[in-house]
Amino acid sequence: MLPDIYRETLARYWGFTSFRPLQEEIINAVVSGNDAIGLLPTGGGKSITYQVPPVAGGGLCLVITPLIALMKDQVARLKSMNIKAMAIHSGMTREEVEISLDNCLYGDYHLLYVSPERLHTPLFRARLPRFNFTLVAVDEAHCISQWGYDFRPSYLRIAEIRDILGDKVPFLALTATATPQVVKDIVSRLRLKNPGIFQTSFRRTNITYVVREVEDKSAYVLRSLKKEQGSGIIYVNSRKRSKEVAEMLVANDIRADFYHAGLPQEMRDRKQNAWSSGEVRVIVATNAFGMGIDKADVRFVIHWDCPDSIEAYYQESGRAGRDGQPSFAVLLWSQDEKRKLADSVKIKFPPVEKIKDVYEAIGNFYQLPVGSGKNSVHDFDLWKFVTAFRFSVTETYNSLNFLQKEGYLEFTDEINNPSRVHFVVSRDDLYKFQVANEEYDRFIKLLLRTYSGMFSEFVPVNEETLAARSGMTREAIYQYLLRLTSQGIIHFIPGKKSPLVIFTEERLDRSHLVISPELYLKVKDNYIERVAMITEYADNKTRCRSAFLTGYFGEENGRCGLCDTCQERNELDLSKYEFDIVIDKIKELLGENPMRPEELASAMEYAPEKSARVIRWLLDHEKLLYTDDRKLSWKP
């Protein structure tokens, strides 16, 4: 039983009077000093399980996550709640990292977020023994498993910090989607000691899963949206299509907008807020849309394009119906979609020599001599790079992902880093400077009135906001910041938006670059298997959709009675028990030899009329096939 201080902290800072299912059990495990694994759905409140303990009990929690946008979002939210939190990621300068680490050491901070590739830098490792961590939380823990759908080699080294921190600091591994094999891998690779495994059911009883085979997706979506009410998400697999589909909806009087990672952060925030508030009914988005969504009344999630794994589909479709009310998850499917998925294997896995070409070109692009560059961070303009070397965009992107899986470099999605300011003089020296330099006084007062904390750390600033408050132009604000930096009063880092490439090892000569055939084939086989599973889900016409999804994650459930396959079976006017009896008998009889329809009907030991209905249904759904001599056989 948790002490009252944990519930009081939850109420005081988060405004909740009670924990969600399993949150309290997970917190109780880690504050008792035990390792734990939390398998909680997207939107299930994973962050509460590691944020509440250090705030309620004191101490510092180390949070390891690959999602830089998520850590920045969570740190900003925690600071707005007056909880001291810090983030260390690849988009920061060395000085920013040093100041942030020192603040966490001496400044009574409760949460330190670190991206996995920063965890192993000399700068972080040198300070690590001095931290008094009370908990280590590993978010997106499935990334540690080569059997998972987003394997990252930087995760394999996380367990090394146990040797430095000792056995008294508990580890909490968190993920929304993990098969039993991935869970076993998490336990092994993080060296968890007898962890409690806390898992909510993967079954979403209020979601009706539907697969629709349609050639004209636009017509189907328009009919559906005019028939069904409420707001929703339509997922597509390209930025171009997100805009095209949104424009098609708007042209048909549906309040819609598009969203993808290539848009400026301010625009993305504006679009997401308009959708969350109900001003926009439908958001058409790539998989970049998902992090931080807390809209509970999403009535439908439609996948215009099929994702390449059950994990991705389950996570994205699971953004529907978080308020517990009836909702729909619809996958639009066609034979063309099936072909695209099959072809994606070739696209995802460039030839080994092409991967080596990209690695060599990256080194030349940044003029890194062989043997240098370890832990160096570089802004990366993909278009500029592929233009310079005449590479294919998709081949380059997938080569970079594979070089990341091999551990040679890290490749981040686009990071939006705002401008940052840190006062490098004391308050007394600043006052003397203001008295002696009246032309800067008004601007310095504007900075101090608008933002706090700039004497102790780098603080994000917005030049547009400062311009609006002062009546100056944005350029004038920018020039003031540059001049104060040249005077040694502040350190100003201009904002930028760019993906990053981080060399996690020294640059190797091409002849020493090893692309392990074993890893290449293993990752490729895993991908092929995941594509096969989502294809089987979409092609399936007999098994309950919900049971299929939960079964993939190792949880066996009965029919949901709601999905399209269950609805068709319901029309047979047979109970599940009756249906299963007939199916089992048919499998048994046809398992040995094909039979003529009349032979099969006479061999059945169940009501002839009901047996005939099931046989017709199986034929309609191509589970029974006719042989050349007109006998029935069971399709394996």
Do 296 and 377 lie in one domain? The reply is: no
Of the listed ranges 2-6, 31-35, 278-282, the least confidently predicted one is 2-6
Question: How confident is the model at residue 331, as a pLDDT?
Answer: 97
* 352: its two tokens: 């080994």
Do 467 and 593 lie in one domain? The reply is: no
Question: How confident is the model at residue 583, as a pLDDT?
Answer: 76
Question: How confident is the model at residue 496, as a pLDDT?
Answer: 82
Question: How confident is the model at residue 608, as a pLDDT?
Answer: 72
SS3 244: helix
269 occurs within a structural domain: yes
Q: How far is Cα 123 from Cα 100, in angstroms, rounded to an integer?
A: 12
Listed in sequence order, the residues at least 6 apart from 628 whose beta carbon sits closer than 8 Å to its beta carbon are none
Q: Is the pLDDT of residue 291 over 70?
A: no
Q: Is the pLDDT of residue 42 over 80?
A: no
CA angle 248, 251, 253 (to 5 degrees): 115
535 occurs within a structural domain: no
364 occurs within a structural domain: yes
Q: Is the pLDDT of residue 236 over 90?
A: yes
CA angle 19, 182, 293 (to 5 degrees): 45
Question: How confident is the model at residue 593, as a pLDDT?
Answer: 78
Do 37 and 153 lie in one domain? The reply is: yes
Query: What is the number of other CB atoms lying within 10 angstroms of the CB of residue 505?
Result: 12
Q: Is the pLDDT of residue 573 over 70?
A: no
Domain boundary among 295, 310, 333: 333
Do 507 and 431 lie in one domain? The reply is: no
Question: How confident is the model at residue 442, as a pLDDT?
Answer: 92
542 occurs within a structural domain: no
pLDDT tens column, 95-133:
999 999 999 988 889 999 998 888 888 889 889 999 989
Verdict on whether the full-model pTM lies above 0.95: no
Q: Is the pLDDT of residue 572 over 70?
A: no
Do 424 and 398 lie in one domain? The reply is: no
Which stretches of 127-274 are assigned E, i.e. beta strand? 133-138, 171-175, 196-199, 207-213, 231-235, 256-259
Q: How far is Cα 104 from Cα 98, in angstroms, rounded to an integer?
A: 10
Question: How confident is the model at residue 292, as a pLDDT?
Answer: 66
Do 163 and 273 lie in one domain? The reply is: no
552 occurs within a structural domain: no
Do 504 and 490 lie in one domain? The reply is: no
Closest CA to 446 of 461, 456, 435: 461
Do 54 and 182 lie in one domain? The reply is: yes
Sheet holding 377-379, edge to edge: 377-379, 500-503, 409-411
Residues in the chain: 636
Mean pLDDT, residues 583-612: 76
Mean pLDDT, residues 590-612: 76
Residue 571: band (very low, low, confident or very high) from pLDDT cuts 50, 70, 90 = low
Residue 227: band (very low, low, confident or very high) from pLDDT cuts 50, 70, 90 = confident
Q: How far is Cα 443 from Cα 58, in angstroms, rounded to an integer?
A: 38
Question: How confident is the model at residue 477, as a pLDDT?
Answer: 93
Question: How confident is the model at residue 594, as a pLDDT?
Answer: 83
> Which domain range does residue 118 map to?
4-199
Of the listed ranges 223-237, 257-271, 515-529, 571-585, the least confidently predicted one is 571-585
Which residue has 């869970």 as its token pair?
Answer: 183
Q: Are strands 409-411 and 490-493 parallel, antiparallel or unpaired?
A: unpaired
Do 120 and 188 lie in one domain? The reply is: yes
Q: Is the pLDDT of residue 171 over 90?
A: yes
607 occurs within a structural domain: yes
506 occurs within a structural domain: yes
Q: Are strands 282-285 and 409-411 parallel, antiparallel or unpaired?
A: unpaired
Domain count, the chain: 5
Domain containing residue 232: CATH number: 3.40.50.300
Domain containing residue 490: CATH number: 1.10.10
Question: How confident is the model at residue 631, as a pLDDT?
Answer: 81
Q: Report the percentage of the chain scoring pLDDT > 90.
A: 57
Do 480 and 506 lie in one domain? The reply is: no
Query: What is the number of other CB atoms lying within 10 angstroms of the CB of residue 229?
Result: 9
Provide the 8-state DSSP code for 459: E
Of the listed ranges 361-365, 424-428, 457-461, 621-625, the least confidently predicted one is 621-625
Do 102 and 187 lie in one domain? The reply is: yes
Q: How far is Cα 77 from Cα 73, in angstroms, rounded to an integer?
A: 6
pLDDT tens column, 442-495:
999 999 999 988 999 999 999 989 999 999 999 999 999 999 999 999 999 998
Q: State how far Cα 90 lies from the chain centre.
A: 18
Q: Is the pLDDT of residue 224 over 80?
A: yes
Question: How confident is the model at residue 350, as a pLDDT?
Answer: 92
Q: Are strands 85-88 and 231-235 parallel, antiparallel or unpaired?
A: unpaired
Domain boundary among 145, 177, 199: 199
pLDDT tens column, 389-430:
999 988 999 999 889 888 899 888 777 788 999 999 999 999
Do 157 and 36 lie in one domain? The reply is: yes
Tally of helices (H runs) and strands (E runs) in the chain:
27, 23
CB distance 497 to 414 below 8 Å: yes
More confident residue, 594 or 367: 367
Domain boundary among 291, 315, 333: 333
More confident residue, 618 or 170: 170
Q: How far is Cα 334 from Cα 528, in angstroms, rounded to an integer?
A: 19
Question: How confident is the model at residue 517, as a pLDDT?
Answer: 86
Question: How confident is the model at residue 447, as a pLDDT?
Answer: 94
Q: Is the pLDDT of residue 295 over 70?
A: yes
402 occurs within a structural domain: yes
Residue 36, CA distances (Å) to 18, 23, 317 in order: 21, 12, 27
Query: What is the number of other CB atoms lying within 10 angstroms of the CB of residue 144?
Result: 28
- For the four alpha carbons of 497, 485, 72 and 396, in that order, the dihedral sign comes to positive
> 259 - beta bridge partners?
285
More confident residue, 418 or 546: 546
Question: How confident is the model at residue 54, as a pLDDT?
Answer: 96
